[in-house]
Amino acid sequence: MTDAAPIDFWFDFSSPYSYLLSEKIDELAARHGRKVRWHPILLGIVFKATGSAPLTLQFPPKAEYSTLDFARSARFMGLPYRHPDKFPLATQSAARAYYWLHGRDCALARRFAHAVFRALFVDNRDVSAPETVLELAAGLGVDRAELETGLQSQEMKDRLKQEVDTALSLGVFGAPYVVIDGQPFFGADRLPQIERWLETGGF
């Protein structure tokens, strides 16, 4: 691994396009000697601050198109996808759990993040429920009682708020939002541009 600047990946666990990019970004970055810093945030707060709304809650043609495109984009990228019955949904428990795990084992936190995304967008599980979050973490060998306490801690609540505030200060307005060498890329469909940027060092 080189000393090249890391890539920042801002996302919400409830974002279908974030799920798609999450399955590709680490492998792509590694091929070019980069690490990725994952930052789960809460799009509900971002949307409130920016006057926006989830795609599926916007006017009907756009909402219908978005639902179609989620699945089509997944097929295009060769990834499984099932649109959740409960959508959109809150993800603060999953995000807090990620940061709690990250403070102890970065690799484990990354595996947990993948488990949450796949639980929601492949297995149709309700990841807004703390019980589901705890089950997913326990399946990775995490001490359930310790994590349950961590989810309720003021430290993790403050950490998540700090990450959301930082995202807003950087101009993050949706997810996935990737920053490479100071350049922002929004959306899973920016993956080819991200790859070109990493290959060439910028364009």
> What six digits make up the tokens of 21?
């990019």
pLDDT at site 1? 40
Q: Tell me which CATH homologous superfamily contains domain 7-200.
A: Glutaredoxin (3.40.30.10)
Q: What is the mean pLDDT of residues 66-82?
A: 97
The pLDDT tens digits of the residues spanning 146-155 come to: 999 999 999 9
pLDDT at site 136? 98
The pLDDT tens digits of the residues spanning 124-141 come to: 999 999 999 999 999 999
Instruction: Confirm if 49 and 168 have CB atoms less than 8 A apart.
Output: yes
Structure confidence at residue 31 as a pLDDT band (50, 70, 90): very high
CA distance 109 to 115: 10
Q: In the chain, where are the structural domains located?
A: 7-200
Nearest to 45 by CA among 162, 150, 148: 162
Q: What is the pTM of this model?
A: 0.95
